[in-house]
Amino acid sequence: MARRAMRSALGVVLAGALLIAGAPASGQAQPVEDQTEWRVRQEIVDHALREVGQREGNGNYYPEKYSQTGQGVLRPAEWCGVFVNWAWTTGGVPDKPSMRPAPGGSVLDQGHWATYWQKWGKANGRWKDIGERDVEPGDAVVYGNYPDMHAHVGLVVEVKYDRSGHQATHVRTVEGNFGDRVVYSKMRPIEGLNAGRYLQATGFVSPF
């Protein structure tokens, strides 16, 4: 795939620097669909990075703009999934988890529930297990397994790949509702990636 060639050329994909002058940073001609996808991924990353440091008010009253991305977004609420939904929506992702359950469906099956992102990803061919080491900027990272309550979801904003460019070795993330604010992580190895001692990353959800 062209994306694999891009990885190999870059080695490290830097947050906020995937595109230069509207073209993929590898400098190689890419199919139109890949250019469009990478522009959306760049938008997701840029939007997420600009929010670092934003905090909630008392009682999970997170910044109001995160709830202004479609029907079903609750406020106040636990909002890690709300933040990912906001970044994907403002970045231009056309198809994403619903923020409210289907009529008669389980209350767990909506994007406020962090591990629902895993279930939705698997159902829609977007899930990438942590062991696959297949991750790109703009992907959602899920900590925990559906339908666990003790869970979290964030956004990948930077990826370091091995020499082949085929497997990720480290990622950097931006995550909402982590300590009641939006945080920017250090570069962390995929092996053992976690959001707390007992909250291991299980995989990634692609926006495409």
Give the pLDDT confidence of 106-127 residue by residue, as tens digits: 999 999 999 999 999 999 999 9
pLDDT at 166 (0 to 100): 87
SS3 (DSSP) at 26? coil
111, amino acid identity = G
Q: pLDDT under 50 in the chain at which residues? A: 1-2, 4-6, 8-30
The full set of domain ranges for the chain reads: 2-205
> 45: part of which helix (H) or strand (E)?
helix 32-50
Residues in contact with 186: Cβ distance below 8 Å, sequence separation at least 6, in sequence order: 172
pTM, full prediction:
0.87
18-27 confidence digits (pLDDT tens): 433 333 333 3
| Positive or negative torsion for Cα 172, 4, 97, 169 | negative
